[in-house]
Structures are given as C-alpha cells and as structure tokens.
Amino acid sequence: MEKKLIFILLFILLLPSQSISADRELFYVYSSKYPKENHYSPSGLMGDTGDIGLSGGYIPTPSGGKACLKIAYKPKGAKEWAGIYWQNPPNNWGEVEGGYNLEGADKLTFWAKGEKGRERIALFKIGGITGRYNDSDSASIGPVKLSKKWKQYTISLKRKDLHYISGGFCFTVRRVDNPRGGTFYLDEIRYEGKEIKGAEIAIDRTPPKVSMHIPANSFSPDGDGVNDLISFEVKAKDNVAVNSWRLEISTLDGKSVRTFQGDGTPPSKLAWDGIDDYYHRLSPSGEYVTVFSASDRAGNWGLSETQKIELKLIPQLKEVKVIEEERGLVVRLTSKVLFDFDRFELKEIARSSLDEVVNLLKAYPENKVKVEGHTDSVGTADYNLQLSQLRAASVAKYLIREGIPTSRIEIAGYGETKPITSNVTIQGRQQNRRVEVVILK
C-alpha cells in the first residue's frame, strides 16, 4: 500500500505543467512557453490585409516564454479595419472539414498589452466561421482598451456548443478606434475546462528549420566605405515548402527598427545599412536584437535564436571650425561635409558651410587666401596628392564664383603629408580628410 501511494504521488508531480489543477485542462491556441502545444495557425487575414502584421514580440512575457505575439496595425486601406483568425486547418474559412471538438472548455483566457497603452481592439472572439462546415458556436468580448501592462482577459464559454471549432481565436481592429494605428502583444491564448476533448484532423505541425549567422556583430555606418553594412546569413528549410520569411531588427525593449520579409525561399544573405523603416534615418548607436523566422504552408513558424548586434557611430565633427595659427585664421572643413567618399565634386549640402566661409573672407578683403586640400593615408601617395589638389580647386572655384577675387586665392594640395591626428583610427582618418581655407596675415 505504501509503495502504491508513493507511485501515485510521483505520477502527480510529473504531470505536465499545462494543467492548472487536478480536474482542469488547458488547450492552447498559442503559447510562447509551450509552442509544441499550439493547435491553431494565425492564417486568416481579414479586412485590409496589408494593414496588419504579425511577428514575434521579444519582450518579457507573462508565461516566461521566449517570444509573445506582436501585432502591428497601420491603417491605410479602404475597408478601414483588419484582423487575424487562428484557424485549423490553416486558411480554412469553412470550406474543408477540420477544427477541434472543445467540449468541456468553459472559458478562453489570453494575455494582452498595448505598446503605448491606449490601443483599442474592436473584438476578441472564438468560433463564428461559416461555410460548408460551420463552427458550432461563437463567443466574444469587446471593445477592449489595452493598457501598457500585461492583463489577462476571459471569454466565457459556459453553455456554448463547442463540438466543432475551426476558428480558435480572432481579433479585429478599426481605423476609427486607432486612427494612427498601433502595436499590441498577445500571449498564452488557451481554452480551460474539465476534460477538453480536443479531437482534430491530422495536419502538418512541423515548422521549417531556420538558422541565422552574423559574421561580424558590429558595424559603423558612417559613410567612409569601411564596415558600413552588417550581413546576415540566413537559411530556411521545410519538408514541403517555405511559404514566407522574416528578419526583424528591434531595440532591446522590443521596438521594431527594420524588417526584411518576403515569400518563398529567403535569399542566403541580407545586409542592413543602419537606416530604420519609419523615419528613414540612421538609427542611434547601441545594441539591437535580431531574429530570423520562416513559415510553411500550414502556418507553422520556425524561429532562430535571437542575437545581438551593435551599431557604432563615430561622433559627428563640426562642419566648420575656425582656429588661429601663426600664419593666420584657418577655417577647417571636413571632407565628409564637402564631398562624397573618394570624390572631388562638391555636395549640395556643402553650400551652407562654404557660404559662411565666403562671408568671413569678405570681412578681410585685403588678405590673401590659401586653399589647402588634405587626405588620409589610405591609398597611394600619388593618388592622394592628386585628390587633395582637385578638392582644393573645387572649393576655390566656389569661392571665386561667390565673389572672392581670383587674385587673392592660392591653391595647394598636400595629400597625406600633413595629418592633424593619427591615421590609425577611423575617427582620425576622418579628421585628416579635410580642406583648410587660410586667411593669411
């Protein structure tokens, strides 16, 4: 008898953690902690399908899982609403027999939060798919205003006929509620109850195998032609076919910065130049999180391990710097302001800096002016000398065009022979690439 009691106790201790009590069961639509227990696929896009996006949300989750669900809504379409249905089989709008017998479930619970805390969801719902094979019932809550903190919500299923449910869960959002769009997160979507039957048809549950390799985990997109891009080597393989893929770059707190995505087999290599998706500007220095994912035709998603990358920006130099030396006033302009890499034609944005120089020269109408070009030590000495002369000539030509007499101006190119700092570092080379306009005493 004692041995029998010990056996029973061990059996209870080894029960799966999905069980919330001895007489209740959990049946998952989605779980970040138990992904193998997910029974439905988020395959049913509704409304303005191009306005809604679903990806992994790499933020702390209520369940402690690796990634929750991240939904981004950007209202642009004519229908002014969008949504996603979790279906079984995937993409099933009642045309094929499938779904689950969920008799025994008395509620569906899920966790949700908004990115900013004022996102409005028009409807959360289970069931309700109609067609040749109708769902046996439906239940819903809404509208719901989300907060910035995770909160668990409940859809009561008491006295509902759940013997056939192919639409396991869905939500809808509307432009009228979210005129500027919004982002929100979901986790631990599950049915709860006593002895949930959960009978299903046989479908593909194996996600694609994916991997991501980053040869160098840091880069400095400063436009100097060295280490300006970061590369991602990605792979995705499925038993049947890869349906879509996605590479997402986010801040450490989970905000999306840059997303690469497409259909079918992904390219073997992707590269990022540091420009974000939203403002189309260079992202700030710091660490970012990257993850690669791919889906198959059944709606299964495979995720790579998350990896960190670092974007390092060289501190920006002042466009115009005036210093006093023994030979006179020296106006120092960095080549980054004046020219593109390895070029001598003036950039359009150089006008404002050079106009300041013109005004300064007009304040000293009797003084001679020397325009000097300088380079770093990258490349041959002869090439650098020629480039420095051409750059000095371009600046002198602009000064003359703006009213500085030719008789006042002398042009010289020194190549790499007169550095103002070491050429060992990127920042040092950037400072050495310059044009100096000297107002001689």
Instruction: Report whether 205 contacts 28 (CB < 8 A).
Output: no
The phi-psi region of residue 80 (left if phi > 0; otherwise alpha if psi is between -120 and 50; otherwise beta) is: left
- Partners of 193 in the β-ladder: 25, 105
Instruction: Tell me, yes or no, whether 422 and 365 share the same domain.
Output: yes
Residues 154 and 225 placed together within one structural domain of the fold: no
**What secondary structure, in 3-state letters, does 363-386 show?**
CCCCCCEEEEEECCCCCCHHHHHH
Sign of CA dihedral 352, 353, 358, 360: positive
Same structural domain for residues 190 and 219?
Answer: no
Could you tell me if residue 215 is inside a domain? Answer: yes
Output the six-digit token pair for 263.
């259909």
Task: Tell me the CATH number at 395.
Answer: 3.30.1330.60
Residue 12 lies in a domain: no
Q: Is residue 271 part of a domain?
A: yes
Mean pLDDT of 404-418: 93
Question: Binning pLDDT at 50, 70 and 90, where does residue 241 land?
Answer: confident
> Do 304 and 354 reside in the same domain of the chain?
no
The verdict on 88 and 130 lying in the same domain is: yes
Residue 4 lies in a domain: no
Residues 6+ positions from 184 with CB-CB distance below 8 Å: 70, 71, 112, 113, 114, 115, 119, 121, 146
Same domain? 138 vs 24: yes
Specify if 227 maps to a domain: yes
Q: Is 134 within the bounds of a domain?
A: yes
CATH number at residue 283: 2.60.40.3880
Structural domain includes residue 87: yes
Do 234 and 146 share a domain, yes or no?
A: no
- Is 3 inside a domain boundary? no
Are residues 340 and 223 part of one domain?
no
Q: Which pLDDT tens digit goes with each residue over 366-402? A: 899 999 999 999 989 999 999 999 999 999 999 999 9
Q: Name the band, by pLDDT with cuts 50, 70 and 90, for residue 422.
A: very high
pLDDT digits (tens, 9 = 90+) for 287-340: 999 999 999 866 789 999 999 999 987 444 345 677 778 888 888 888 888 888
Closest C-alpha to 124, from 140, 136, 107, 106: 140
Do 234 and 194 fall into the same domain?
Answer: no
Domain limits at 355?
Answer: 320-440
Do 216 and 185 fall within a single domain?
no
**Same domain as 290, residue 334:** no
- Going by C-alpha positions, the residue among 178, 189, 109 that lies closest to residue 146 is 178
